[in-house]
């Protein structure tokens, strides 16, 4: 079941993208193509990809021409092969030409995130580990990039700083240590969806276990050390109420080793900060 996206929530964002690109007007289109001209466009996959953002793609043109007709042939979350056509659009030629770059940029970006996420999800298939994103997102695009992660089969970590307590290295240093940070965090337990702390070695792990946090983040540990850490958590918490998460230095080449080490979550910043845009083209002809 593909994730759902209410495009109406993003109208203002899309308008801001168009304003940035169009400026005072698309002088090339206005001077070379009649305003009465109508056209049709085909969106074409040029490489294997996982689709994300197809409804936003069509909505860009609707904002420029309310009479735009969009035929969606593939849904978000679907894997496409080169040559497949996920959408066809009919509108004024001015709308198609003016909105083309914004619509493509956004779709290529989000589909890139979904495609990379799917690769990580497939790499850990058959294990109990789940692939999660991080807050390493493009400012202004977080909700859409996290949507793309879901389209790729991943899960979202916390959406913002208000959702959960995640005590990281700098917090620990400023608070005075793992124990001090976790003790202080208990005062906000009712306001947070969960309490999580980052540890970098087994001594920090033992200090954290004394406070039974909801999640323990095993940061920049190699798979062998992650396995030891998970075993210690399970020995302390046989009911498995404490989740374990691995993060740092995780790639497609080694992610399965981390999954097989027994962690519940594997968070990968690269899903959103390093996903390459996928190859899609939009070919326009007279209607």
pLDDT digits (tens, 9 = 90+) for 59-81: 999 999 999 999 999 999 999 99
CA dihedral sign, ordered 170, 175, 178, 183: negative
Domain that holds residue 171: 124-273
CA distance 280 to 119: 19
Q: What is the pLDDT of residue 2?
A: 66
- Does residue 255 contact residue 124 with C-beta atoms inside 8 Å? yes
Same domain for 115 and 235: no
Same domain for 61 and 22: yes
Q: What is the pLDDT of residue 3?
A: 77
Which of 2-11, 18-27, 108-117, 212-221 bottoms out in mean pLDDT, i.e. has the lowest?
A: 2-11
Query: What are the backbone dihedrals phi and psi of residue 250, each rounded to the nearest 5 degrees, phi first?
Result: -95, 130
Look up the CATH number of the domain holding residue 105.
3.90.1170.20
Catalytic residue among 198, 204, 245, 264: 198
Catalytic residue among 40, 75, 101, 142: 101
Q: What is the pLDDT of residue 4?
A: 81
Q: Which tokens hold the place of 108?
A: 């290529």
Is 219 marked active-site? yes
CA dihedral sign, ordered 61, 62, 66, 68: positive
Same domain for 196 and 70: no
Is 101 marked active-site? yes
CA terminus-to-terminus distance, the chain:
34
User: Based on the structure, what is the number of domains in the chain?
Assistant: 2
Q: Taking all residues of the chain, what is their mean pLDDT, rounded to a whole number?
A: 97
Does 1 map to a domain?
no
Catalytic residue among 65, 196, 219, 245: 219
DSSP 3-state assignment of 283?
strand
Same domain for 110 and 155: no
Same domain for 225 and 187: yes
Q: What is the pLDDT of residue 1?
A: 64
Share of residues in the chain with pLDDT > 70 (%): 99
Say if residue 42 is exposed, middle or buried (CB neighbours under 10 Å; 0-12, 13-18, 19+).
Answer: middle
**Model pTM greater than 0.85?**
yes
Query: 45 forms bridges with which residues in the sheet?
Result: 280
Query: What are the backbone dihedrals phi and psi of residue 180, each rounded to the nearest 5 degrees, phi first?
Result: -65, -40
pLDDT digits (tens, 9 = 90+) for 108-155: 999 999 999 999 999 999 999 999 999 999 999 999 999 999 999 999
Does 141 map to a domain?
yes
Q: What is the pLDDT of residue 97?
A: 98
Same domain for 79 and 157: no
Same domain for 160 and 264: yes
Asked if the model's pLDDT at residue 252 lies above 80, the reply is: yes
Helix (H) or strand (E) holding 243: strand 243-247
Q: What is the pLDDT of residue 269?
A: 98
Same domain for 148 and 258: yes
pLDDT digits (tens, 9 = 90+) for 227-246: 999 999 999 999 999 999 99
Same domain for 262 and 166: yes
Share of residues in the chain with pLDDT > 90 (%): 99
Catalytic residue among 46, 168, 191, 240: 168
Same domain for 128 and 112: no
pLDDT digits (tens, 9 = 90+) for 164-201: 999 999 999 999 999 999 999 999 999 999 999 999 99
Say if residue 51 is exposed, middle or buried (CB neighbours under 10 Å; 0-12, 13-18, 19+).
Answer: buried
Same domain for 241 and 169: yes
Does 2 map to a domain?
no
Same domain for 95 and 52: yes
pLDDT digits (tens, 9 = 90+) for 197-208: 999 999 999 999
Buried b (16+ CB within 10 A) or exposed e, 226-243: bbebbebbeeeeeeeebb
Q: What is the mean pLDDT of residues 219-224?
A: 97
Does 63 map to a domain?
yes
pLDDT level of residue 42 (50, 70, 90 thresholds)? very high
């Amino acid at each position: 079941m593909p994730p759902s996206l209410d495009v109406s929530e993003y109208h203002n964002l899309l308008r801001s993208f168009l304003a940035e690109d169009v400026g005072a007007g698309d002088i090339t289109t206005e001077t070379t193509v009649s305003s009465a001209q109508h056209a049709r466009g085909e969106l074409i996959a040029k490489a294997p990809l996982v689709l994300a953002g197809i409804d936003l793609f069509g909505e860009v043109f609707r904002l420029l021409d309310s009479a735009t007709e969009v035929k969606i042939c593939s849904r978000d979350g679907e894997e496409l092969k080169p040559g497949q056509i996920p959408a066809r659009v009919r509108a004024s030629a001015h709308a198609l030409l003016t909105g083309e770059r914004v619509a493509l940029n956004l779709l290529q970006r989000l589909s890139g995130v979904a495609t990379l996420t799917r690769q990580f999800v497939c790499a850990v298939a058959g294990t109990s580990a789940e692939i999660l994103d991080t807050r390493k997102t493009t400012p202004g695009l977080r909700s859409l990039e996290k949507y793309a992660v879901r389209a790729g089969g991943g899960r979202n970590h916390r959406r913002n700083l208000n959702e959960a307590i995640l005590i990281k290295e700098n917090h620990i240093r400023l608070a005075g240590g793992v124990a001090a940070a976790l003790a202080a965090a208990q005062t906000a337990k009712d306001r947070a969806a969960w309490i999580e702390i980052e540890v970098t070695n087994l001594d920090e792990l033992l200090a954290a276990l004394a406070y039974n946090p909801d999640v323990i983040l095993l940061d920049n540990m190699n798979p062998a050390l992650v396995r030891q850490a998970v075993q210690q958590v399970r020995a302390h918490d046989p009911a498995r109420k404490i989740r374990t998460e691995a993060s740092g230095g995780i790639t497609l080449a080694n992610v399965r080793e981390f999954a097989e080490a027994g962690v519940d979550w594997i968070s990968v910043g690269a899903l959103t900060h390093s996903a390459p845009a996928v190859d899609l083209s939009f070919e326009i002809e007279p209607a």
